[in-house]
């Protein structure tokens, strides 16, 4: 592998000059720069990123912290982040926190030790001193604090639309799922829906789901029909819960949407393949990831920022588990 | 933040001694080591990983290359890898190749530049000179070459079982899906199934899917019923394709499994929530990830290896889209 000395030799300049070109600091004549760059290309020279990072005290690594990549909402988000970073030559160090504080702190620590250029975090603990005390910029994603750079979608409006659609389809005995209490995003969509139901002329009941795991979704769906067999409309806390409810409803030979309407949240790719295909509230997960990466890179490059708290729109995706709006 | 000097001062030893403890090289008296470790803990000292990595020419980073994390088979695999590495203090640099050679090479290059301790790659190009020429150990995952350290599941047997189950349920006009031609894993399960069908007393036809994307799965499912409306048994190339076929069959008011049996491949978590729940061939994705990480760490630590090509078993998961075997 070619070294910096080889490049200097081939370009007929000093190692210090090559270093100035590499690190883009100090004056280098344009013609010299072109010669050095050409030599690098010819020799297939790649600077050692670790050495560069030590020297410049920065790197082209970005830390990405997610709750759990096996929750089908997050792969899209991660792809959005990665695709944007990849185009700009940045790479991801990646970890799942499982929403455990200790694991999160451990990842933050190692992100710092590896001198990441910045971080993108989907966290339930945005107010940790570890975040505010970071030298590197942090963009919060999906689960976001006040005031800090962040990208999120409008959960309250999402919940509101979900409830309105179920009412529009004329359900009279509605079950509203309340997602995990410790997840602000789950609580926002819940509150949005609750506000609408509370002012409507319908009966409704609330079931809490302990997590967004597949197993808990199945348990909650069974609980729903045992406790409230007359339910004719369900506002689920996410698409996984909605899929489990749909499964259970069909199992009990209810017709969907004739006997019971179901609406999900997220619009994960699988929801379109359910039968009937799931009506849901779409969060633009991929675009949220992309926006977060763009925002972080702009902060790293000290670009002027138009906004630092970017709210992404949610949209109702009408499929076949709700009745009206055809 | 505490420095190496602070640690040396607190432990009453030289910086060189602390460095020997940190890097685990050279002689250090046991009692001294204990004192240094205690001082590190007391001062909450974390070595700068970048500096260490430069010095030792190694790091605690592992490169993970996947085709596409949004394919629902891969998040499980990635979690298996991460959970095992995390316990051992290693971190992941992560990239999706999208099965593009150029993108893969770019990631390999940056993994090397960041001096990863090793790599885990799910690649279609295991024979690249870039892999065999790597200083760092590589473990191939899922899509694997001969002779190299690898973890994979038994695709041929998986395909064989899938076909046998469809025959056991008495389908007489079977459609066999052939996954993307460039994916050896897809071709193995296809060959396994084909061998069984070819020797059975049934009609069958083959449909090729261009990719494992959601969109292509839907297209293929529609194509299936347009071209072969009499199909009464489907062996899908993965669970996404099976879900799309199930969707289309129900759309056409076919009864599953009475009129048509469907069997998937992978057993992604979503398959249990379909209705009827999907019968499928299970690959132990999470465990495959875990085994790959274990194997890589053993190679990095120069542990004796029992085997370097680890084949994981596949199993038939009987649910409700196939008829026999109750």
Domain-embedded: residue B255: yes
Domain-embedded: residue A260: yes
Looking at the structure, tell me whether residues A162 and A149 fall in a common domain.
no
Domain-embedded: residue B52: no
HSE-CB of B285 using CA atoms within 13 angstroms: 20
Banded model confidence at residue A144, pLDDT cuts 50, 70, 90: confident
The 10 Å Cβ neighbour count of residue B107 is 22
Per the CB < 8 A criterion, the answer to whether B143 and B178 are in contact is no
Q: Name chain B contacts of A48, Cβ cutoff 8 Å.
A: 113, 115
B-contacting residues of A 130-169, CB under 8 Å? none
**CATH code (residue B18):** 1.10.260.40
Q: What is the pLDDT of residue B6?
A: 87
A-contacting residues of B 35-54, CB under 8 Å? 46-51, 53-54
Hey, is the C-beta of A219 within 8 angstroms of any chain B C-beta? no
Domain-embedded: residue B325: no
* B276 closest CA partner among B316, B234, B318, B241: B318
Looking at the structure, tell me whether residues A110 and A42 fall in a common domain.
no
When pLDDT is averaged across residues B272-285 and rounded to a whole number, the result is: 97
Q: What is the pLDDT of residue A322?
A: 98
B262 strand-pairing partners? B234
Task: Please name the residues in contact with B90: beta carbons below 8 A apart, sequence gap of 6 or more.
Answer: B60, B61, B62, B117, B297
Q: What is the pLDDT of residue A55?
A: 54
Looking at the structure, tell me whether residues B226 and B115 fall in a common domain.
no
- pLDDT tens across A153-199, in order? 999 999 999 999 999 999 999 999 999 988 889 999 999 999 999 99
CB-CB: which of B68, B93, B247 is closest to A275?
B247
The SS3 assignment for B86 reads helix
Q: Is the pLDDT of residue B125 over 50?
A: yes
Looking at the structure, tell me whether residues B160 and B275 fall in a common domain.
yes
Average pLDDT over all residues of chain B: 91
Give the residue with greater pLDDT, A36 vs A248: A248
CB-CB: which of A59, A70, A251 is closest to B75?
A70
Q: What is the pLDDT of residue B56?
A: 58
CB-CB: which of B96, B106, B243 is closest to A273?
B243
Q: Name chain B contacts of A91, Cβ cutoff 8 Å.
A: 93, 95, 107, 110, 114
> How are beta strands B315-317 and B61-66 bridged, if at all?
unpaired
Hey, is the C-beta of B244 within 8 angstroms of any chain A C-beta? yes
CB-CB: which of A49, A75, A247 is closest to B275?
A247
**CATH code (residue B260):** 3.40.50.2300
Show the domain range for B43. 4-47
Q: Is the pLDDT of residue B110 over 90?
A: no
Per the CB < 8 A criterion, the answer to whether B279 and B258 are in contact is no
Task: Please name the residues in contact with A66: beta carbons below 8 A apart, sequence gap of 6 or more.
Answer: A74, A77, A78, A94, A95, A96, A97, A122
CB-CB: which of A49, A115, A214 is closest to B110?
A49
A247 vs B274: CB contact, 8 Å cut-off? yes
Domain-embedded: residue A254: yes
**Exposed (0-12), middle (13-18) or buried (19+): which is A317, by Cβ within 10 Å?**
middle
When pLDDT is averaged across residues A133-140 and rounded to a whole number, the result is: 92
Cα separation, B52 vs B60, in Å, equals 10
Q: What is the pLDDT of residue A201?
A: 94
Q: Name chain B contacts of A92, Cβ cutoff 8 Å.
A: 93-95
Looking at the structure, tell me whether residues B160 and B254 fall in a common domain.
yes
Under 8 Å CB pairs connecting chains A and B tally to 146
Looking at the structure, tell me whether residues A122 and A171 fall in a common domain.
no
Q: What is the pLDDT of residue B42?
A: 82
B-contacting residues of A 179-208, CB under 8 Å? none
- pLDDT tens across B45-85, in order? 766 665 665 555 567 899 999 999 999 999 999 999 999 99
Q: What is the pLDDT of residue B57?
A: 53
Looking at the structure, tell me whether residues B193 and B307 fall in a common domain.
no
* A63 closest CA partner among A123, A103, A116, A140: A116
B273 vs A218: CB contact, 8 Å cut-off? yes
When pLDDT is averaged across residues B16-33 and rounded to a whole number, the result is: 81
Measured in degrees and rounded to the nearest 5, phi and psi for residue A153 equal -115, 165
A198 to chain B, closest Cα gap in Å: 31
What's B279's DSSP letter? E
Q: Name chain B contacts of A76, Cβ cutoff 8 Å.
A: 70
Hey, is the C-beta of B217 within 8 angstroms of any chain A C-beta? yes
Cα separation, B11 vs B40, in Å, equals 9
Task: Please name the residues in contact with A217: beta carbons below 8 A apart, sequence gap of 6 or more.
Answer: A209, A240, A241, A243, A244, B273
When pLDDT is averaged across residues B11-28 and rounded to a whole number, the result is: 82
- pLDDT tens across B139-162, in order? 999 877 778 999 999 999 999 999
B70 vs A92: CB contact, 8 Å cut-off? no
- pLDDT tens across A2-47, in order? 778 888 899 999 888 888 887 767 788 888 888 888 888 788 776 6
When pLDDT is averaged across residues B244-272 and rounded to a whole number, the result is: 97
Q: What is the pLDDT of residue B326?
A: 47
Give the residue with greater pLDDT, B41 vs B48: B41
> Which residue of A lies nearest to B108 if distances are taken between CA atoms?
A91
Q: What is the pLDDT of residue B284?
A: 97
Task: Please name the residues in contact with A27: beta carbons below 8 A apart, sequence gap of 6 or more.
Answer: A20
Looking at the structure, tell me whether residues B274 and B298 fall in a common domain.
no
Looking at the structure, tell me whether residues B159 and B279 fall in a common domain.
yes
Looking at the structure, tell me whether residues B90 and B238 fall in a common domain.
no
Looking at the structure, tell me whether residues A180 and A279 fall in a common domain.
yes
Cα separation, B20 vs B15, in Å, equals 9
B93 vs A96: CB contact, 8 Å cut-off? no
The SS3 assignment for A221 reads helix
> Which residue of B lies nearest to A134 if distances are taken between CA atoms?
B1
Looking at the structure, tell me whether residues B148 and B290 fall in a common domain.
yes
Rg (CA), chain A: 25
Domain-embedded: residue A53: no
> Which residue of A lies nearest to B93 if distances are taken between CA atoms?
A93
Q: What is the pLDDT of residue A326?
A: 47
- pLDDT tens across A50-109, in order? 556 555 556 789 999 999 999 999 999 999 999 999 988 899 999 999 989 999 999 998
Banded model confidence at residue A115, pLDDT cuts 50, 70, 90: confident
- pLDDT tens across A257-287, in order? 999 999 999 999 999 999 999 999 999 999 9
Q: What is the pLDDT of residue B1?
A: 59
A262 to chain B, closest Cα gap in Å: 15
Domain-embedded: residue B209: yes
B49 vs A272: CB contact, 8 Å cut-off? no
B69 vs A78: CB contact, 8 Å cut-off? yes
Hey, is the C-beta of B320 within 8 angstroms of any chain A C-beta? no
Domain count, chain A: 3
**Which of B78, B91, B211, B221 should be substituted to probe chain A, the one whose Cβ sees the most A Cβ atoms within 10 Å?**
B91
Q: What is the pLDDT of residue A113?
A: 84
Domain-embedded: residue A54: no
């Amino acid at each position: 592998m070619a070294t910096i000395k080889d490049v200097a030799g081939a370009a007929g300049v000093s190692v210090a000059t090559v270093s100035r070109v590499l690190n883009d600091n100090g004056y280098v004549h344009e013609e010299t720069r072109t010669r050095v760059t050409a030599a690098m290309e010819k020799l297939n020279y790649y600077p050692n990123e670790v050495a560069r990072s030590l020297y410049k005290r920065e790197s082209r690594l970005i830390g990405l912290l997610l709750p759990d990549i096996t929750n089908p909402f997050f792969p899209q988000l991660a792809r959005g982040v990665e695709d944007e970073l990849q185009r700009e030559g940045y790479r991801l160090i990646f970890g799942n926190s499982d929403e455990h504080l200790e694991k999160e702190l451990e990842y933050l620590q190692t992100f710092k030790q590896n001198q990441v250029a910045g971080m993108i975090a989907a966290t339930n603990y945005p107010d940790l001193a570890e975040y505010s005390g970071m030298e590197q910029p942090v963009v919060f994603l999906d689960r976001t604090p006040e005031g800090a750079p962040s990208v999120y979608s409008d959960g309250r409006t999402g919940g509101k639309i979900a409830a309105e659609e179920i009412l529009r389809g004329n359900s009279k005995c509605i079950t509203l799922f309340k997602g995990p209490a410790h997840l602000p995003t789950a609580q926002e969509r819940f509150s949005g829906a609750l506000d609408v139901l509370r002012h409507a002329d319908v009966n409704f009941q609330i079931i809490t789901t302990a997590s967004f795991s597949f197993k808990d979704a199945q348990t909650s769906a069974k609980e729903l029909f045992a406790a409230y067999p007359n339910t004719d409309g369900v506002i689920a806390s996410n698409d996984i819960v909605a899929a489990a409810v749909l499964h259970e409803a069909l199992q009990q030979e209810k017709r969907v949407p004739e006997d019971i309407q179901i609406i999900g949240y997220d619009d994960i790719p699988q929801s379109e393949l359910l039968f009937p295909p799931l009506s849901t509230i779409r969060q633009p997960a991929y675009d949220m990831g992309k926006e977060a990466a763009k925002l972080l890179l702009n902060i790293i490059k000290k670009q002027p920022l138009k906004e630092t708290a970017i709210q992404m729109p949610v949209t109702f995706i009408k499929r076949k588990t709700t009745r009206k709006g055809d």
